[in-house]
Amino acid sequence: NLQLAYEAALVYTVIGDRASALANAQRALTGGFDPRWFTSPFFDAQREVPAWQDLLAAAETRVRSGSAAR
């Protein structure tokens, strides 16, 4: 469930578990979850993480190219 993966990423970010947040964000985004949801201020703690930046950039590229799953 992509919604659950997004919500898990949010919770893990808030509690400071960056690795679990990244894993769940990756699950949501590669499944086609809209990357705009990850612009929430709750994700500010993740924005400095290079892997997070790469993940969001790739998801945004997929959306722009029209190859997102949904």
Share above pLDDT 90 across residues of the chain, in percent, rounded to a whole number: 91
Contact 45, 16 (CB under 8 A): yes
58 pLDDT more than 90: yes
Q: Where are the domains of the chain?
A: 2-65
Question: How many whole angstroms separate alpha carbon 70 and alpha carbon 53?
Answer: 21
Q: What is the pLDDT of residue 68?
A: 55
